């Protein structure tokens, strides 16, 4: 039994994860200049290649990076970490943006550049690390969480308080911790890793200007914590996309027509009115006192100003100035705001509320009413939905988890959808991304078992299509290998693609069964010697192994499907 994402050795060879590091700038890459610290280029060569924890000294290898919308590919020198506690090595390359920025200068254009780079390279890498300045990092995390839709892979943003080239810095630990998270755990969220903690990006705020503990997510516990022993992921908290859709991005954010205003004692209704009458303004985040309270103003003047603006079609969202807790209609001063039509932002950070507003307002067909409604609903785990019951299961020990996974595995293999649904009702949903002794998750099992409705159901529960089993195989590979065309199509619709390490074997198998492999994204190709060797290995596996992979090949041989 292995914890999610933990894949041990593959026939004595060590599995490699591929991570694209996207460098946007920030202190992490800065060097001193006469005008103060400025971002500098050459981070991989200058800062990483000489450090043994970032470079195992293996012979140089290049990896492909898609560098523009036209799909142009550039070969990049890569580095590889030594083997981690989890038995993997992380191969990575640093892709530097043309213009490296201090993050206080980043805006929606920079966010879109990050989103596009991830989209272009989505199928080439297992996950992504974004290096970014800390000043506006929480805004970027929040914006990206809305821009990246149906994200199936980990996107980890980090930076540092001191440059990597300073003797005493936090850059080394922050980057290494991010690489380990990205290289081992399929956490399909935009996350922020800092000072040994992994936070949900859209719950985070910068809380310290110079402390190494610069970030916190006061209304949501960390998704993972790194200790001296290991990185412990709180799988119960991990948010997963729950729809049959491929990964795509929405980069159009209306940041020019939203604003943020902090209420203070003595604030005049005319001041608020002046902001609300800014040319073209469509949304305002109001930072209020305590549980969402603001002064009424003489004769309710403040409430009238707000209500008038809402009637003019401006969406006003109420978030608290407090670091923890939520906006809730407890006091008369807060209730009058909601009566005026101000929307409760519950426990959203200002960063999340502002970027969410800009995202929703830019959606096609956005009306003030539907934007207002969506602001109070959790889209990416950015707020705690008060109506959702919180189930607390008894803490399972390892044998219980093994048992639960085995029972689920049998139900999947028997095509018993009702049983599968029953098990998932009572089990933690991280069981979906847990792996058995051969590294197969329930999605792997369902991908190569006949019952299509079970695969459909598990995908809708948030099972990952990207985890690889002990042989390095994705569920898509197993489905194609089993000749299950409908499974292949469903997986592809859910964003699945073959891993780059599966391509050779897939091309080879596609010669025998072009139809189903074509659906998996593989066309017929010439066989090289290397591929012939690989075929022998495949045959060996199918003969000797009792793994799903082997079974799948046997099923294909008896011609189970087109």
Site residues (CB under 6 A) for ligand ASN? 26-27, 102-104, 133-135, 159, 161
The count of other CB atoms within 10 Å of the CB of residue 204 is 29
Cα(282)–Cα(276) distance, rounded to whole angstroms?
9
Secondary structure (H, E, C), 492-508: HHCCCCCCHHHHHHHHH
The count of other CB atoms within 10 Å of the CB of residue 242 is 13
Half-sphere exposure of 382 (CA within 13 A, CB side): 31
Nearer to ligand ASN, 4 or 140 (CB): 140
3-state secondary structure of 43: helix
Helical spans, DSSP H, in 193-288? 269-276
Residue 136 beta carbon to ligand ASN: minimum distance, rounded to whole angstroms: 6
Task: DSSP for 387-453, please give it.
Answer: TS----PPPPPHHHHHHHHHHHHHHHHTT-HHHHHHHHHHS-GGGGG-B-TTS--HHHHHHTSS-HH
- Give residue 104's Cα distance to chain centre: 23
Nearer to ligand ASN, 141 or 508 (CB): 141
Rg of the Cα trace of the chain? 25
Nearer to ligand ASN, 214 or 344 (CB): 214
Cα(415)–Cα(433) distance, rounded to whole angstroms?
19
Nearer to ligand ASN, 134 or 226 (CB): 134
Nearer to ligand ASN, 157 or 551 (CB): 157
Residue 113 beta carbon to ligand ASN: minimum distance, rounded to whole angstroms: 15
Residue 103 beta carbon to ligand ASN: minimum distance, rounded to whole angstroms: 3
Nearer to ligand ASN, 214 or 361 (CB): 214
Nearer to ligand ASN, 165 or 322 (CB): 165
Q: Catalytic: 406?
A: no
Residue 92 beta carbon to ligand ASN: minimum distance, rounded to whole angstroms: 20
Secondary structure (H, E, C), 94-126: EEEEEEEECHHHCCHHHHHHHHHHHHHCCCCCC
Nearest to 217 by CA among 351, 73, 16: 351
Provide CB contacts within 8 A for 544, sequence distance 6+: 550
Nearer to ligand ASN, 33 or 58 (CB): 33
Residue 29 beta carbon to ligand ASN: minimum distance, rounded to whole angstroms: 9
Q: Where are the beta strands (DSSP E) in 81-223?
A: 88-101, 127-131, 148-149, 155-158, 190-194, 197-200, 205-206, 215-216
Provide CB contacts within 8 A for 480, sequence distance 6+: 488, 506, 509, 513, 516, 517, 519, 520, 522
Residue 295 beta carbon to ligand ASN: minimum distance, rounded to whole angstroms: 34
Residue 38 beta carbon to ligand ASN: minimum distance, rounded to whole angstroms: 10
Type and span of the H or E element at 141 = helix 137-147
* Cβ-proximal residue to ligand ASN, closest one: 133
Handedness of CA 324, 429, 417, 506 (dihedral sign): positive
Catalytic residue among 6, 27, 140, 255: 27
Residue 162 beta carbon to ligand ASN: minimum distance, rounded to whole angstroms: 8
- Bridge partners, residue 22, by sequence: 95, 130
Nearer to ligand ASN, 135 or 434 (CB): 135
DSSP code at position 45: I
Residue 313 beta carbon to ligand ASN: minimum distance, rounded to whole angstroms: 35
Long-range CB pairs of 392-396 (<8 Å, 24+ gap) are 393/426, 393/427, 393/428, 396/428
Contact 241, 462 (CB under 8 A): yes
Helix 137-147 and helix 350-361: axis angle, to 10°?
40
Nearer to ligand ASN, 34 or 266 (CB): 34
Cα(541)–Cα(558) distance, rounded to whole angstroms?
16
Classify residue 363 by burial, with Cβ atoms within 10 Å: 0-12, 13-18, 19+. middle
Beta pairing class for 155-158 and 148-149: unpaired
Residue 39 beta carbon to ligand ASN: minimum distance, rounded to whole angstroms: 8
What are the catalytic residues? 27
């Amino acid at each position: 039994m292995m914890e999610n994402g933990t894949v041990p050795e593959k026939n004595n060879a060590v599995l490699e994860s591929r991570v694209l590091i996207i460098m946007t700038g920030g202190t992490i890459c800065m060097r001193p200049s006469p005008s103060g610290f400025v971002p500098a280029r050459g981070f991989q060569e200058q800062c990483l290649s000489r450090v043994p924890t970032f470079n195992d000294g293996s012979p140089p290898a290049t990896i492909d990076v898609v560098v523009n919308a036209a799909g142009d590919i550039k070969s990049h020198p890569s580095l590889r970490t030594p083997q981690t506690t989890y038995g993997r090595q992380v191969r990575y390359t640093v892709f530097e943006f043309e213009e490296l920025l201090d993050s206080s200068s980043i805006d929606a254009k920079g966010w879109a550049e990050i989103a596009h780079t991830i989209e272009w390279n989505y199928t080439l890498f297992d996950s992504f690390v974004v290096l970014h300045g800390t000043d506006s990092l929480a805004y970027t995390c929040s914006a990206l969480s809305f821009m990246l839709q149906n994200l199936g892979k980990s996107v980890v943003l980090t930076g540092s308080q001191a440059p990597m080239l300073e003797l005493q810095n936090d850059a080394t630990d922050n980057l290494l911790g991010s690489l380990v998270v990205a290289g081992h755990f399929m956490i399909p969220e935009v996350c922020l890793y800092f000072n040994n903690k992994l936070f949900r990006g859209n719950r985070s705020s910068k809380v310290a200007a110079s402390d190494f503990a610069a970030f916190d997510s006061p209304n949501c516990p960390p998704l993972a914590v790194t200790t001296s022993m290991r990185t412990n992921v709180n799988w119960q908290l991990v948010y997963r996309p729950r729809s049959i859709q491929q990964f795509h991005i929405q980069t159009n954010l209306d940041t020019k027509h939203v604003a943020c205003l902090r209420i203070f004692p003595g604030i005049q209704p005319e001041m608020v009115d002046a902001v609300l009458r800014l040319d073209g303004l469509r949304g305002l985040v109001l930072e209020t006192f305590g549980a969402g309270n603001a002064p009424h103003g003489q004769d309710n003047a403040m409430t009238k100003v707000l209500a008038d603006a809402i009637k003019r079609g401006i969406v006003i969202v109420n978030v608290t100035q407090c670091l923890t807790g939520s906006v809730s209609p407890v006091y008369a001063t807060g209730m009058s705001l909601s009566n005026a039509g101000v929307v409760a932002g519950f426990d959203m950070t200002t960063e999340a509320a502002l970027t969410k507003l800009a995202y929703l307002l830019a959606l096609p067909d956005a009306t003030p009413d539907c934007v207002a409604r969506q602001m109070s609903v959790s889209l990416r785990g950015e707020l705690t939905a008060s109506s959702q019951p919180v189930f607390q299961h008894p803490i399972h020990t390892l044998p219980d988890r093994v048992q639960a996974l085995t029972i689920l595995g049998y139900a999947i293999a028997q095509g018993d959808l009702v049983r599968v649904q029953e098990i998932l009702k009572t089990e933690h949903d991280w069981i979906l991304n847990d792996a058995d002794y051969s590294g197969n998750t329930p999605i792997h099992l369902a991908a190569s078992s006949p019952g299509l409705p079970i695969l459909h159901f598990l995908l809708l529960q948030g099972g990952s299509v990207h985890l690889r089993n002990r042989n390095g195989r994705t569920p898509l590979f197993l489905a194609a290998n089993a000749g299950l065309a409908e499974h292949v199509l469903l997986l592809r619709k859910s964003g699945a693609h073959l891993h780059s390490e599966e391509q050779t074997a897939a091309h080879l198998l596609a010669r025998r069964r072009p139809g189903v492999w074509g659906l998996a994204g593989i066309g017929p190709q010439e066989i090289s010697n290397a591929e012939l060797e690989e075929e022998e290995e495949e045959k060996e596996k199918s003969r000797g192994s009792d793994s799903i992979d082997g079974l799948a090949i046997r099923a294909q041989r008896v011609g189970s499907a087109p």
